Homo-oligomer: A and B are copies of this chain.
Amino acid sequence: MKIRKINLEESEIPESWYNIIADMPNKPLPPLHPATLEPIGPDSLAPLFPEALIKQEVTTDKWVSIPDEVRHMYTIWRPTPLYRAYGLEKVLDTPAKIYYKYEGSSPSGSHKPNTAIPQAYYNKQEGIKRITTETGAGQWGSALSFACQHFGIACEVYMVRLSFNDKPYRKIMMNTWGADVYPSPSERTAAGRKILEMDPESPGSLGIAISEAVEMAVSREDTKYALGSVLNHVKLHQTIIGLEAIKQLEKAGSDMPDIVIAPFGGGSNFAGLAFPFLRLNLEQGRNIRCIASEPASCPKLTRGVFRYDFGDTAGMTPLLPMYTLGHDFIPAPIHAGGLRYHGAGVIVSQLLKDRLIEARAHDNIEIFEAGVMFARSEGIIPAPEANHGIATAIQEAKKCREEGVSKTILFNLCGHGNFDMKAYDDYFAGKIKQHELSQYEIETSISKLETPLIPT
């Protein structure tokens, strides 16, 4: 019988996370203070994050040890299986070997707990009583609620209003783990009230929700803030995905993949799978192509500009050097999925600038076609975010068929779609339309930026 899932033992969960900064030929540019435009040091992050996470944010150590308690919590769902996609290969009639790493088996159904657990752990270590955060599709808010519950920390989630309305089950999931959830923009914060004054019907955005969560963290002594993507320490934690995948491919006696693919929102999903493979490129001169798959409706990697920008809408964060569509870009409310953040994390941005990775955009209809094909050939119904990676994998597998070459393709199936059934229903009902984001819209958003350019 052909082996479908390559598993690892709990004892094989990696003991360290991988920090790609150590291996990058060009290190990311420093964050700047928005007023002085001077590089800022780690101290300025102290109101937001516990010390241990700030250290991880700026460390240049190549390996960061995973605390035992975090590894033990990981065993609730890790190691996650690496699947050989026999069903998808068959329906595509492709000579490609397709693998996917399945991160949907976590309690909250995505890869997000990989960083939620250590973030809650380090906050607990430093005596923090409450964590605020934002969530878009709900994946991150769920993951942090689950993690905070375990460590006995209160959790306060600002959920993009469009998702809050479309995905009541995500909210209840967070409540079940004891979190408080507010639709964003809310009346609870100055940032939220300001948006609501301008547009009482605002569907919200991740940028707005971040502003609210940050405001509620800095205004209370016992409270810190947590971010589910973008930042270096978040990417660091997610590398557990790729590190496991490499062990699993070795265990299966497989070559390393030719192509590694992951969905792209703020970067942690992509970083998690791809960075450990990029390490092989950087260290051993391998040539593994790493492709970030983003939505055509929020195409910061493929159509954005590389310059300094704020991480949030209200401009409360430091200025970060990144590919961005402009910090007040609000993606069209096509479907309340993730991947709708206006910017890309600094590490990924630098890697793309240096052409060490690639990016590709997929439109809305294409990604649901890919998701339904996957559900019907592999069984698992993927989250819409995951469908972006599947769409790229399908394109590459078809190319293999056309060219008659057998490549090995690996993608990150970052979550299941159990909470996204409404989006599938809309797709079946023909309500999901191809959204053409015009060059004018993008230029308008970017042209508003008054933030520093990056010299080329």
Contacts and interface: CB of A to CB of B under 8 A. Distances in A.
A99 interface: no
B1 A168 contact: no
A381 B174 CA distance: 11
A11 B1 contact: yes
A149 B376 contact: yes
Contact of A172 (B72, B109, B424): B424
Interface in A33-88: 68, 71-72, 75-77, 87
Contacts of A146: 379
A178 B7 contact: no
A216 B87 CA distance: 31
Contact of A177 (B4, B107, B175, B376): B376
Looking at chain A's contact residues, is the secondary structure mostly helix, strand, loop, or mixed? helix
A151 to B, nearest CB: 12
Given A168-B421, A176-B424, A422-B172, A379 B107 contact: yes
Given A172-B422, A175-B428, A9 B7 contact: yes
A344 to B, nearest CB: 30
A425 interface: yes
A5 interface: yes
A244 to B, nearest CB: 14
Given A75-B5, A375-B177, A376-B177, A107 B169 contact: no
Contacts of A76: 4, 378-380
Q: Interface size for chain A: under 10, 10 to 19, 20 to 34, or 35 or more residues? A: 35 or more
Contact of A4 (B1, B75, B169): B75
Nearest to A11: B1
A176 B372 contact: yes
A355 interface: no
Residue of A11, A72, A76 ringed by the most chain B CB atoms within 10 A = A76
Given A168-B425, A172-B424, A418-B418, 17 more contacts: A1-B11, A1-B72, A3-B10, A76-B378, A105-B105, A107-B379, A150-B379, A169-B422, A172-B422, A173-B381, A173-B418, A175-B424, A175-B425, A175-B428, A176-B375, A177-B376, A177-B381
